Structure 1
């Protein structure tokens, strides 16, 4: 991939995969092959994304997402506490039942959350016990709703999120790890 080539949706999917490779290398390898790209291209996409994200002359996060992913598939106003937000959703071909959601403050467009969520018309997984929590099967919101009162924990790196939950099957406390909002593992 030339650094002059436009950075588009395929490259963005490679960025998502690059962070997931730390926890689920086997799934990332399968996905990378399905996309028909090399490890070198995945690394280059991540390098370019990091450069765009950290550039002092760079665009704001919301502008960057729009330039890379195009116009969102949908937008909606949401109120979260006292905040008026705009939720923007983009399709992610690698995961057709998911959307990449960017939550931005309605008054200035500052991005405060960005992760994968279930597509509005796609059925979510049936989650009854921790045994149902398979890698890449569920989003943060789905796991939190299925295992109340799940408690958020600090993530272990940027784009990572964790939930403490109790398995109703045996009463054991477990921790679910997510990258970009998608379940990676349960320990």
Structure 2
């Protein structure tokens, strides 16, 4: 019989709730207020969020860590699977629900070799996306990288500041039919965080 003290003190399994805290932790630099509201919605303390991030970092950096795809399956459970064609290659996409954002899915894109190509939030396949016509529509957490790129072509990808961050440069009007202004949209885990203006506020 296992020692009861050891069982009681063993860390709980790292699961979907903890992973949502990891997503939020990365977004706190840009939108601390939204992150705070989401943390409270999940019923987790600030210390709990920090601990989830610490455990995630330990998992990803451990010399005994499994591959990224296997790690996500272990944490998030069995995914939905779809086939995607990128250029001349057909690849597999793994999709998991994210309760904080019911219309989004966390996607892990696998190369034909099984290596992870990309990992971010996307709109749930078949779900209606946001109506993006002007700068006013580009509010935090309103859209994904792909949605912004489609709404304001031609969008140009820029180098991100971290592996979980993306940036897009494009032009968008303040009002429909108005003058377009150059801007840079910043995303964390594929979700819009903020928009900045290289030429100053429009």
Could you say which TM-score interval applies, normalised by the shorter chain? over 0.9
Say yes or no: does 1:11 pair with 2:29.
no
* Aligned with residue 185 of structure 1, among 179, 184, 194: 194
The number of aligned residues is 184
- From the superposition, tell whether residues 3 and 148 of structure 1 become closer, same or farther in structure 2 (CA, over 3 Å): farther
Report the TM-score, using the length of structure 2 for normalisation.
Answer: 0.88
Alpha-carbon deviations, 1:36-67, whole Å to 9, x = none?
Answer: 00011101111111111111110000000000
Give the distance between the partners of 1:3 and 1:134, measured in 2 at CA: 41
Flag the structure with larger Rg.
Answer: 2
Q: Could you say which residue in structure 1 is the equivalent of 2:199?
A: none
Instruction: Describe how 1:134-173 pairs up with structure 2 within 5 A.
Output: 134-168=139-173, 169-173=178-182
Give the distance between the partners of 2:105 and 2:53, measured in 1 at CA: 20
Question: SS of the residue aligned with 2:179?
Answer: coil
* Aligned with residue 77 of structure 1, among 83, 93, 110: 83
Q: What is the root-mean-square deviation of aligned Cα atoms in Å?
A: 1.1
Say yes or no: does 1:64 pair with 2:61.
no
Give the distance between the partners of 1:96 and 1:145, measured in 2 at CA: 22
Per mean C-alpha deviation after superposition, the further-off stretch among 2-11 and 31-40 is 2-11
Q: 1:185: Cα distance to partner?
A: 0.4
Say yes or no: does 1:51 pair with 2:58.
yes
